[in-house]
């Protein structure tokens, strides 16, 4: 039951396609009904007409793959192996993981499909349709292969012709591919068109190039506004009266010391102005100097609150300056992927 699920889901998508404006879906549904009724010629005609109109009606890739699978089965049963092989190759191009269910299709159909798959190395690229990543980040795409084979992946700038190799090696069922958003010089690519090219190189059969266009645009991040400086005391201003008290302490010490030195009779017990007066004078002068340079006691009141607000503003401004510098250096890319195209390279 599990093996039949992918085919049944694709078939249900076809059957559920609305009639209004969906002529391709209507034709495919009628073709499937003819196949089930073994009206093979009619089934082949209706399925081909539906697939021819699929592009205009935007039929999903999975539905196209299923339609080509049934068309190939119809051609096998009609005895047209070349037409069947061409239909099977188209089915693999739209969905490399497409497989005929052995519970739905007869052995001659599944056998013919396997012969084609062994010589058909197709890759389908699944990428975000519209996303934004940072340069140096991770732009992730998935590669799905119809069969294990060797492949190379390059990102090419068609304007300059320069290419950057992203991968070279084997691809089994699937492969996750990561691009860091940098060009061949390690910088952010220019705004414009880039091509993601996957070249499949099977051991037998032709090379095939799957091309996915990427429209890239550089996006700069807005910087943050700096906070407004508080309207308060200028940086370094003394609280009210603080500077004058310090000056008065220094002056009192110096004047007291000079008085002791110049008026020995007032302080010397022998009346002759002994050496003790110099000791006392020096002590008074030193006390005044200490009072001037000593750390101020912790300020309180509005002046202290103002200084704390200024310091907080400075810390916030420094932090925002650093963040804005980081934002100026960081570049983002908006990447929009277009429809992929598979091209045969011509090597046999």
pLDDT tens digits, 5-18: 344 444 444 444 44
Give the pair of three-digit tokens for residue 143: 């590669």
The domain boundary, picked from 86, 118, 150, lies at 118
Q: What is the pTM of this model?
A: 0.61
Residue of 28, 43, 37 lying closest to 76 (CA atoms)? 43
**What is the predicted pLDDT for the residue at 34?**
92
**What is the mean pLDDT of the segment spanning 27-39?**
91
Asked if residue 289 lies in contact with residue 253, where contact means CB atoms within 8 angstroms, the answer is yes
In the chain, what is the straight-line distance between the N-terminal and C-terminal CA atoms, in Å?
Answer: 39
Angle at which helices 5-15 and 61-77 cross, to 10°: 100
Percent of the chain with pLDDT over 90: 38
pLDDT tens digits, 87-102: 999 999 889 988 999 8
**What is the predicted pLDDT for the residue at 180?**
92
pLDDT at 63 over 80: yes
The domain boundary, picked from 95, 118, 141, lies at 118
Largest Cα span, the chain = 144
Cα distance between residue 296 and residue 298, in whole Å:
6
Q: Domain containing 38 — which CATH number?
A: 1.25.40.10
**What is the predicted pLDDT for the residue at 2?**
37
Q: Is 233 within the bounds of a domain?
A: no
Q: Say if residue 19 is in the same domain as residue 146.
A: no
Q: Say if residue 253 is in the same domain as residue 207.
A: no
Highest mean pLDDT among 138-142, 269-273, 283-287, 319-323: 138-142
Residue of 26, 119, 121, 106 lying closest to 74 (CA atoms)? 106
Q: Say if residue 33 is in the same domain as residue 100.
A: yes
Highest mean pLDDT among 149-158, 275-284, 294-303, 321-330: 149-158
Q: Domain containing 198 — which CATH number?
A: 2.60.40.4070
| Of 21-30, 105-114, 168-177, minimum mean pLDDT range | 21-30
Q: Say if residue 92 is in the same domain as residue 166.
A: no
Q: Tell me what the pLDDT averaged over the chain comes to.
A: 76
Strands 139-145 and 149-156: unpaired
Looking at residue 264, what DSSP letter applies? H
Q: Say if residue 143 is in the same domain as residue 214.
A: yes
Q: Is 230 within the bounds of a domain?
A: no
**What is the predicted pLDDT for the residue at 244?**
55
Our count of domains for the chain comes to 3
Please give the residue that has the higher pLDDT: either 256 or 171: 171
Domain that holds residue 296: 242-329
Q: pLDDT band at 44, cuts 50/70/90? A: very high
pLDDT tens digits, 214-271: 999 988 776 777 777 777 545 444 444 445 555 555 455 555 555 544 555 444 445 4
Listed in sequence order, the residues at least 6 apart from 207 whose beta carbon sits closer than 8 Å to its beta carbon are 199, 200, 201, 344, 345, 346, 347
- The per-residue b/e assignment along 289-299, b for 16 or more CB within 10 angstroms, e otherwise, is eebbeeeeeee
């Amino acid at each position: 039951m599990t093996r039949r699920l992918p085919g049944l889901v694709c078939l249900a998508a076809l059957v559920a396609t609305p009639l209004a404006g969906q002529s391709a879906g209507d034709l495919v549904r009628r073709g499937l009904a003819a196949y089930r009724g073994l009206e093979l010629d009619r089934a082949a005609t209706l399925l081909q007409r539906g697939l021819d109109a699929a592009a205009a009606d935007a039929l999903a890739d999975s539905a196209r793959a299923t339609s080509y699978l049934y068309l190939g089965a119809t051609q096998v049963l009609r005895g047209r192996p070349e037409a069947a092989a061409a239909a099977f190759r188209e089915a693999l191009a739209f969905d490399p993981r497409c497989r005929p269910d052995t519970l739905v299709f007869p052995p001659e159909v599944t056998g013919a499909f396997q012969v084609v798959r062994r010589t058909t190395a197709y890759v389908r690229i699944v990428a975000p349709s519209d996303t934004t990543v940072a340069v140096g980040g991770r732009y992730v795409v998935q590669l799905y292969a119809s069969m294990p084979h060797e492949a190379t992946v390059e990102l090419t700038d068609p304007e300059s012709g320069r290419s950057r190799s992203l991968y070279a090696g084997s691809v089994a069922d699937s492969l996750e591919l990561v691009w860091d958003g940098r060009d061949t010089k390690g910088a952010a690519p220019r705004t414009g068109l880039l091509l993601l090219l996957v070249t499949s190189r099977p051991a037998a059969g032709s090379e095939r190039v799957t091309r996915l266009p990427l429209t890239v645009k550089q996006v700069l991040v807005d910087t943050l506004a700096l906070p407004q400086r508080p309207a308060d005391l200028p940086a370094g201003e003394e609280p009210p009266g603080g500077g004058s008290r310090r000056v008065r302490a220094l002056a009192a010490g110096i004047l007291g010391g000079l008085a002791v030195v110049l008026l020995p009779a007032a302080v010397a017990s022998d009346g002759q102005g002994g050496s003790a007066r110099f000791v006392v004078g020096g002590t008074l002068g030193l006390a005044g100097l200490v009072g001037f340079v000593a750390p101020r006691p912790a300020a309180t009141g509005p002046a202290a609150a103002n200084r704390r607000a200024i310091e907080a503003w400075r810390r916030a401004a420094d932090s925002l300056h650093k963040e804005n510098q980081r934002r100026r250096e960081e570049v983002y890319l908006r990447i929009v992927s277009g429809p992929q195209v598979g091209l045969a390279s011509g090597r046999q």
